Structure 1
Amino acid sequence: MFALGGCMSTTPPPGITAVTPFDLARYEGRWFEVARLDHSFERGLTDVSATYQRQPDGSVRVVNRGFDAAKNDWREAVGKALFTGDAQTASLKVSFFGPFYGGYHVAALDADYRWASVVGPDRSYCWILSRTKQLPPGLREALVARAQALGIDTQALIWVTHHRTDPQP
């Protein structure tokens, strides 16, 4: 989530469909990263969250934050997301380094918008997000099974710890 962007596809990986109907107003706000696949832009970060906020121009402001234990400091990346088609479909492109965008596709979403499973431009990008810092074990297992059914290497998931209070929610 931190630096997803670059010369990447903005369409979902083959066989993965973005959630529809999708309501950005319900998705807005803060989400905690419960699990992710490893990438250099998030390596070593704990206490990771993402905040989404609709902008007047229809874009979505994305603020990703995480704690870098090696530097003993918070890291933040601010990006911009745009729907790749109809705003009723949870398929967006996001950039932290405009004008280069990468895909952000909500592949599974709780009916009450309490958790989400997100994939990037290919199956090497996956995040499990929640409105809370932890998920009950049964729900975690169900989300891992969903991700595995989509062809995600769930054995490689990193379970993110949340022990700190972020001063900038």
Structure 2
Amino acid sequence: MRFPLVLFASLLLTACANSGTGQAPPETVGKVDLARYQGTWYEVARLPMFFQRDCRESEAHYQLRDDGRMAVTNRCRTVSGKWKQVQGEAEPQEAGQTDKLWVRFDNGVSRLLPGLTKGEYWVLSLDDDYRVALVGHPNRKYLWLLSRKPNLSTEQRDELLTVARQQGYDTSELIWREGE
């Protein structure tokens, strides 16, 4: 009788370990007017990620296309002071649901395996004027604090950090833009 109980307990622990944090997915803003969202957004802070490891200043440029997708240009100034950029596109994960997007950047891997190279871009917070946004990945490993200006007011910063923490993101590892 012990072996089946030990086996059951092991399987249960394995299932729990593989379920991640056990948290529900983060809540998004519900709907984003992509026409108002387009334009330039400055990254004020981010959680560490491999693709941005050499970036000191980052910005994203979004342009709504006729087909409802967004053209995306991400660029950053590296530690050496040079600018590098990548082109991509964003599209709703579900038709009409504009707060959860798939983002894919144009590179060799994405051309070979287009279905495997899409990243999830969830808009978690967005002010009424489309001036400040909080964007994350549902696994909570990626997070960006974005603004139409390179810096945030203390009030805006605190509000975004509060939302991020309430949504289950660890903000202790944020990398801040110089001057923040």
> What band does the TM-score fall into relative to the shorter chain?
0.7 to 0.9
The answer to whether the 8 Å contact 1:65/1:76 transfers is yes
Please state how far the C-alpha of 1:20 moved relative to its aligned partner. 1.9
Which of 153-162 and 57-66 deviates more? 153-162
**Which structure has the higher relative contact order (CA within 8 Å, separation 6+)?**
1
1:36-86 deviation per Cα after TM superposition (whole angstroms, max 9, x unaligned): 00011111312210011111222111100100123x310101111110114
Q: 1:76 pairs with 77, 85, 88, which one? A: 85
**Distance change >3 Å, CA 121–CA 48, structure 1 → 2:** same
The residue type paired with residue 19 of structure 1 is V
Query: Where do 4+ consecutive residues of structure 1 move more than 4 Å?
Result: none
Separation in 2, partners of 1:88, 1:94: 14
Separation in 1, partners of 2:129, 2:166: 22
Corresponding residue pairs, total: 149
- After TM superposition, the score normalised by the length of structure 2 is 0.77
Residue 128 in structure 1 maps to residue 128 in structure 2: no
Separation in 1, partners of 2:118, 2:57: 25
Residue of structure 1 in register with 2:27 after alignment: 17
Matches within 5 A, 1:92-111: 92-96=101-105, 97-98=110-111, 99=114, 100-111=117-128
Q: Which has the higher helix share?
A: 2
- After TM superposition, the score normalised by the length of structure 1 is 0.82
Separation in 2, partners of 1:158, 1:110: 22
Please state how far the C-alpha of 1:121 moved relative to its aligned partner. 4.0
The answer to whether the 8 Å contact 2:26/2:138 transfers is no
Residue 41 in structure 1 maps to residue 51 in structure 2: yes
The answer to whether the 8 Å contact 2:91/2:102 transfers is yes
Which of 122-131 and 84-93 deviates more? 84-93
Q: Please, which runs of 5 or more residues in structure 1 have no aligned partner?
A: 1-12, 163-169
The answer to whether the 8 Å contact 1:91/1:103 transfers is yes
Residue 55 in structure 1 maps to residue 72 in structure 2: no
Separation in 2, partners of 1:132, 1:141: 16
